[in-house]
Amino acid sequence: MATRRKKKSSSGKYVILALIAVIALLAVACGFFYANDRSKKDVGDAKTDGAPKEVSLLDESIEAQRLVDNILLQKDNWQLIENDHGKKNVTVEESGAKVQINQRNLAVGIPNSTSLTGAGDWLQEKIEQAGLVYISGETSKYKKWDAFKAEVGIKVKAGDGSKSFVTDTIVFFHNSNLKKEDKDVKNLPEKPAKEQPKESARRYQGKLAIVVDDCGADMASVRSLLNTGLPFSYAILPDKAYSSDVLEMVRSKGRVPMLHLPMEPLNRSAMSEGSRTVLVDQSAAQKQAQVKKALSGLNGVVGVNNHQGSRATGDKATMKAVLQVLQKQNLFFLDSRTSSASVARDMAQSMGVPTARNDIFLDNSTNVEEIRRQIYKAMAIAEKNGSAIAICHARTNTVKCWQQYADEFKKTGITFVPVTELLY
């Protein structure tokens, strides 16, 4: 009898666990539906009847937090601690709107066998699958322990674009009392050993500004580059899936955000941005409307450089129309120098628009070691001329190169600076 009762109890336990799992999955599914049926509230309008607009995102943020709970509770071997929560008032810098939102600070203990960055990657995947926004992730400290801090939240309409708000700050730390290992978390080493190549012994002088082009298609590449600690400047393409999010992330880290303005190449069939591109045969008004539209979707950029543009930057009428807009908005123009026939820098100087010109592209090759060699060429140019500007792109192997060799580059003696320091 005792044996039969034990089996019955065990069977009941499994049924209960199965039901819990189903409920959790349904909750996540509901959250996914909710997150993708985004609030129609708009935080982009500055005023209502002359007063700053007030927007409540309390319901949206609380629903997002429930979804986060359901994601984290999928792990039966993690320890969840809520350290703080409450209503917060946030002012949207661009519009002046007053937003009320619920925010929390969570600490999550994980087994020593699970890497902190692995837990962060797992969370990012789940958060993005659920339709929420993974805003940032970086190594950190929790009390006296090494940790990984992630910020997640919601995205709402902001005029013609969107804006993300943090609802949860989640800190992963190792709890040695948790013994059950994870099976679905990628266990990457926290600090992989790096071989120091011979070039690390070479000392350089001069200032070097790095501009990262083609930002906006994803957040992970920019997040990784921000985490190197190097003062890159980021040129963001308009109307990409994460253009607004990348802008916000770059600004929050105190780095230079730029508009990467699509402009006509020599071969029009090679245009990558279609109708968003400034064309030579457009009227001056049409060209300026293109520039203004791109800028309006990225409110807060401090300068512009050309995406493609080998034909447009060589056309004086086109550059005059573009630079007139930048002149009125007090923005600089960096000539990406996609053509030796470019008149962009000289015209910007003559019109009083702060300007500079790219000296070298770093990643025409996708080979990590070739990119590294180009970076050293850029350092040599900086040493020879006192300063240099180099352009790379938000691409997988480019990011990998900067991650792998960032510490080495910092020891070369070269001074990395934001591009704004090299304008004239």
pLDDT tens, residue by residue, 202-233: 789 999 999 999 999 999 999 999 999 999 99
Q: At what angle do helices 58-72 and 2-36 cross, to 10 degrees?
A: 140
From CA 130, how far away is CA 35, in angstroms rounded?
A: 7
Query: Which alpha helices (DSSP H) does 73-197 contain, by range?
Result: 116-129
From CA 39, how far away is CA 47, in angstroms rounded?
A: 19
Does the pLDDT of residue 191 top 50, yes or no? no
Length of the chain: 424
Residue 340: CB atoms within 10 A of its CB come to: 7
From CA 170, how far away is CA 148, in angstroms rounded?
A: 8
CA distances from 17 to 67, 209, 371 (A): 19, 56, 52
For 261-291, b/e burial (b = at least 16 CB within 10 A) is bbbbbeeeeebebeebbbbeebeeeebbebb
The more confidently predicted of residues 235 and 46 is: 235
Q: For residue 371, report the phi and psi dihedrals to the nearest 5 degrees.
A: -60, -45
pLDDT of 410 reads 94
For 118-148, b/e burial (b = at least 16 CB within 10 A) is bbbbbbbebbeebbbbbbbbeebebeeeebb
Lowest-confidence pick of 1-10, 26-35, 130-139, 383-392:
1-10
Q: Are 154 and 35 in contact (CB under 8 A)?
A: yes
pLDDT of 100 reads 92
From CA 192, how far away is CA 177, in angstroms rounded?
A: 25
Does the pLDDT of residue 290 top 80, yes or no? yes
Kindly state the average pLDDT of the residues 149-163. Answer: 85
The more confidently predicted of residues 167 and 158 is: 167
pLDDT of 214 reads 96
Instruction: Of 191, 175, 24, give the one whose Cα is nearest residue 108.
Output: 175
Q: At what angle do helices 396-410 and 368-385 cross, to 10 degrees?
A: 50
Q: Are 264 and 279 in contact (CB under 8 A)?
A: yes
From CA 310, how far away is CA 317, in angstroms rounded?
A: 14
Tokens coding 136: 């940032």
Tokens coding 18: 């199965």
- 18 CB-near residues (< 8 Å, 6+ apart): none
Q: What percentage of the chain exceeds 90 in pLDDT? A: 62
pLDDT of 263 reads 97
CA distances from 246 to 134, 149, 164, 214, 402 (A): 11, 18, 10, 11, 18
- 273 CB-near residues (< 8 Å, 6+ apart): 237, 238, 262, 307, 308
Residue 423: CB atoms within 10 A of its CB come to: 17
Kindly state the average pLDDT of the residues 111-119. Answer: 89
The more confidently predicted of residues 158 and 14 is: 158
Q: Tokens 């659920």 appear where? A: 130
pLDDT of 2 reads 38
pLDDT of 139 reads 84
Lowest-confidence pick of 12-21, 272-281, 326-335, 388-397:
12-21
pLDDT of 412 reads 95
From CA 350, how far away is CA 345, in angstroms rounded?
A: 9
Burial classification of residue 333, based on how many CB atoms lie within 10 Å of its CB (0-12 exposed, 13-18 middle, 19 or more buried): buried
Does the pLDDT of residue 121 top 90, yes or no? no
- When the pLDDT of each residue in the chain is averaged and rounded to a whole number, the result is 86
- pTM for this structure? 0.60
pLDDT tens digits along 328-377: 999 999 999 999 999 999 999 999 999 999 999 999 888 899 999 999 99
From CA 38, how far away is CA 63, in angstroms rounded?
A: 11
The more confidently predicted of residues 116 and 24 is: 116
